[in-house]
Amino acid sequence: MPDVAQRSSTASKPTAGLGGGDKAKHAMTSTWPSKAQDQRTTSERLLAMMGVASYSSLKTPTPTEPPVYPKDAPVPVFPLWKMYLFVTPRVAAPLLAHAAFQALTGITLSRGAAMALYSVSLILIGISFVQWCNRTALQFGTFDAQAGRDGVPDVDTWHVVRELLFIAISRPLVGVYFLYRPGESLLTLKSVLMFPLNMFIYAVILDFYFYWYHRLMHEVGLLWRFHRKHHTTKHPNAALSAFADHEQELFDALFIPALTWFTWRIDFATWFGTTVYILYVEAFGHSGIRAYFQIPTTWPLRFVGAELCIEDHDLHHRQGWKKSGNYGKQTRLWDSIFGTCKPRIESTQQNIDWNLSTPPPLPNHST
């Protein structure tokens, strides 16, 4: 069964090459999710296992299409507590398992064993984030819904598999190398109590470095070639957060987090928890879900008008080289300070309904 991106995209975005003629396939043509299981390639099966193309894990019947709202329909506010309830157990599980194993056996995990544990954990966590975004998009619909959502392109299935795995494996390299100290206490009362503050500061600093690196890729011609592929998708879904050139992913996963840690030193457990929340924001930030999400890493910035929302990055993708704006991915703080914010279309103040936490009824004229 095709995913929400594929259903919506093929319904509203007819693509060259589907009729078998001599026209070249569009770069974002995505027909593989509709193949029978025995006709899929290895990479397509791996993507399906990751939840990119299958909704078999849903316990309720899946609608054939996400709801399509007009742009002036109320935008619900997704509760912050629901995000914490979903993500926090995924943060805690590997850390508690690690601590319990060491306490019960007296065996200290080596750097190599810690690398394996947290890489596997991030792979499983990342898969759950993609699946969650897909389910939520089916429930709430997406921004600019009439245009549909892009699926993982037929010609890039292996590329997306590799980049998704690279993200999950490379980020623990930074954390384990710089922060993990075998034999030291993994969880302390101080680290737990200070986690919200440290996560906020870390995310704001990371977004500063990301903002300038991202902005330079848009404004410097020599750097744009490393970012162009990521912008091939104008209406991404959560899995397409990993649709990028390897050079970009290298900076995203290694250099920017390393710079952040050298600026704001945190312990390993705090780093892992913060990284999981940052990955969650990256996933739903590319999902296009039509709801106002308070960013769990940096939500206090809402009180100074500098909080990011899903539509900000969605609008960024609809633009091209030097006209995108909205360069932040964890905050809108640096865009606000440096004058690169773009006006919202659907998540405007008059449209956001703070009393609404579920999808509004579809207007009679909407289909």
Q: What is the 3-state secondary structure (H, E, C) of 33-92?
A: HHCCHHHCCHHHHHHHHCCCCCCCCCCCCCCCCCCCCCCCCCEEEECHHHHHHHHHHHHH
Position 53 pLDDT exceeds 80: no
User: In whole angstroms, what is the distance from residue 26 CA to residue 180 CA?
Assistant: 45
Query: What is the model's pLDDT at position 38?
Result: 87
- The per-residue b/e assignment along 328-363, b for 16 or more CB within 10 angstroms, e otherwise, is bbbbbbbbbeeebbbebebbeeebbeeeeeebbeee
User: In whole angstroms, what is the distance from residue 211 CA to residue 220 CA?
Assistant: 14
- The per-residue b/e assignment along 242-252, b for 16 or more CB within 10 angstroms, e otherwise, is bbbeeebbebb
Position 17 pLDDT exceeds 60: no
**What are the residue boundaries of the structural domains of the chain, listed by start?**
79-345
User: In whole angstroms, what is the distance from residue 283 CA to residue 240 CA?
Assistant: 8
Q: Decide: 230 and 286 in contact? Cβ < 8 Å.
A: no
Query: What is the model's pLDDT at position 165?
Result: 84
Amino acid of residue 307 = E
**From 43-57, 315-329, 331-345, 351-365, the region with the lowest mean pLDDT:** 43-57
Query: What is the model's pLDDT at position 26?
Result: 61
Question: Which residues does 300 contact at the CB level (< 8 Å), separation at least 6?
Answer: 200
Position 15 pLDDT exceeds 90: no
**From 9-23, 33-47, 200-214, 269-283, the region with the lowest mean pLDDT:** 9-23
Its pTM surpasses 0.75? yes
Position 251 pLDDT exceeds 90: no
Q: Percentage of the chain surpassing pLDDT 90?
A: 59
pLDDT category at 64 given cuts 50, 70, 90 is low
User: Which has the higher per-residue pLDDT, 295 or 61?
Assistant: 295
Query: What is the model's pLDDT at position 112?
Result: 92
User: Which has the higher per-residue pLDDT, 71 or 366?
Assistant: 71
Position 7 pLDDT exceeds 70: no
Query: What is the model's pLDDT at position 4?
Result: 45
Query: What is the model's pLDDT at position 203?
Result: 97
Alpha-carbon torsion 267, 270, 272, 277, what sign?
negative
Question: Which residues does 102 contact at the CB level (< 8 Å), separation at least 6?
Answer: 108, 109, 186
pLDDT tens readout for residues 189-213: 999 999 999 999 999 999 999 999 9
